[in-house]
Amino acid sequence: MRRYRRELRDRWLAVRLGLVGRQHQYGEIVSLRRLIGHFGIDCVIDVGANAGQYATMLRKDVGFRGTILSFEPHPEVCAKLVEIAGKDARWHVHNIALSDRDGEATFHLMAADQFSSLNAPQDGLEQIFAERNKVTRTVHVPCARLDTLLPDLEPARDANAILLKMDTQGHDAQVWSGASAVAGRITAAQTELSVRPLYDGATDYRTMIALLERGGFVPNAVFANNKGHFPLLVEMDGLFIRADLAREGNVPIV
């Protein structure tokens, strides 16, 4: 009966997303619903939050009601994010970049703000990306390791199961490296998996998967994270869980 209800809910989700042109998000939402429900995720660390699209999707589509900690270094975008999150007592915003070091870094503001990154864009991009992924100016922003910040993040202190979501436009490997000391507190991770790197120094999908596996995490789900770039596959998103939680016998077949 539970499986039947879930299938009905997923079918209605597919219809609803299709009506508003968001059908490309179906796989992500269904995967997050199942992962969050099964592993009891009660805190999401949203790295590279932009204007809160991911957190809003968690609330409205996934049905997540736990704590969200959003990190967004873009000064103007973060100001908008603070206003949006201010209506949600369990959604906290930090105007800082997460990386593999503590200090300050140069942040590249792109023509389309969702492409802004600590990494500079690659040369020779296809026109659809070259126009949007173009540096308009740079700013200096504070940056920190999650290792440094997490012990002092009051809303996450009592979390039982954390999902670390990374969407930093080519910088996810550095964010992951900066979380090595707290990996034992992380139940699951979501990361960009770059097939066609758009940024200098970006880690491709094979390397990123290997980094996570060396950190004790194994794949849970993979799905495309964008639309409109046919016939090119540019990026995917991957969900990973701690290997000790995925061992045979820990996860029932449902």
Q: What's the pLDDT tens digit per position in 57-68?
A: 999 999 999 999
Beta bridge partners of 12: none
Q: CA-CA distance, 239 to 224, in Å (whole number)?
A: 12
Which DSSP string corresponds to 49-98? -TTTHHHHHIIIII---SEEEEE---HHHHHHHHHHHTT-TTEEEE--EE
* H-type alpha helices, the chain: 2-19, 26-39, 53-57, 75-85, 127-130, 146-149, 172-177, 205-214
Please give the pLDDT value at position 228.
Answer: 60
Structure tokens that stand for 233 in this block? 């596959």
pLDDT value at 252 more than 50: no
> Residue written as tokens 């799905």?
223
Residue 98, CA distances (Å) to 20, 32, 138, 150, 166 in order: 33, 23, 17, 11, 9
Please give the pLDDT value at position 4.
Answer: 66
Residue 240, CA distances (Å) to 134, 191, 216, 227 in order: 31, 8, 10, 22
CATH class, 2-245 region: alpha beta
Please give the pLDDT value at position 116.
Answer: 93
Q: What is the pLDDT of residues 185-227, one digit of tens each?
A: 999 999 999 988 889 988 999 999 999 999 999 999 998 876 6
